Structure 1
């Protein structure tokens, strides 16, 4: 588990998210709202799809916001969860990361590279 994972606010620009993903060599980010609660997950694939979609439809990817691109259906886990079950859940849902929540707060993230 990665403690204190990098996050991005749901109102941030997609460009900002892409910069963070590239700078830190990540495969995605946990998205939080203004109060720090988990609001979604943004994967590098979500970013690629959004940029290509904007270009294809003569749009400007600069106007895209994280909230418009992120996956809003977030499956979380707790620090006490069995890592094998977390990994099986990730495989079943084809998601590469799980925010780790304790007492309603984000305390870490399990990603496929941790398993």
Structure 2
């Protein structure tokens, strides 16, 4: 007896073009809280708590991305210092930030970006233009885009 599949053939997804109506740059946050490598960890912790954010990009004087600092990075620093009985006041962002930072293209379709979020387990991706930080897209930004599309066919967003 032959087994029949009731699943239709799947179309090959087309590459996203710059004219995609739901681009990352349309939903990313442009007004960012950024950090510097010489900032103290406790100053970063205060900023994260005050602004209810979980991390942010670290930039140099030319607004070039040099790393990312997160709650987890700060927590690890505080925990390590307590374990080794060392003062925390001198610790800086530059000593704890992640320097190998993944970025996304601002012209990418937000739903392709959602797939990358799921694969990477990142909470945010910086967006660069000409080597300069211009924004950041978060998982929450992708969810906002999905709400705007409520009721539309997802495939209609791919050009």
TM-score, normalising length: structure 1 = 0.92
1:71 to 95, 98, 106: 98
Work out whether 1:19 is the aligned partner of 2:46: yes
Structure 1 gap ranges (5+): none
Q: Which structure has the bigger radius of gyration? A: 2
TM-score, normalising length: structure 2 = 0.68
Work out whether 1:7 is the aligned partner of 2:34: yes
CA RMSD of aligned residues (A): 1.2
Spell out structure 1 runs of 4+ moving beyond 4 A.
none
Structure 2 gap ranges (5+): 1-27, 143-159
**Displacement after TM superposition at 1:107 (Å):** 1.1
More strand, by proportion: 1
**Number of aligned positions between the proteins:** 115
1:25-40 to structure 2, matched below 5 A, reads 25-40=52-67
Question: Match of 2:67, SS?
Answer: strand
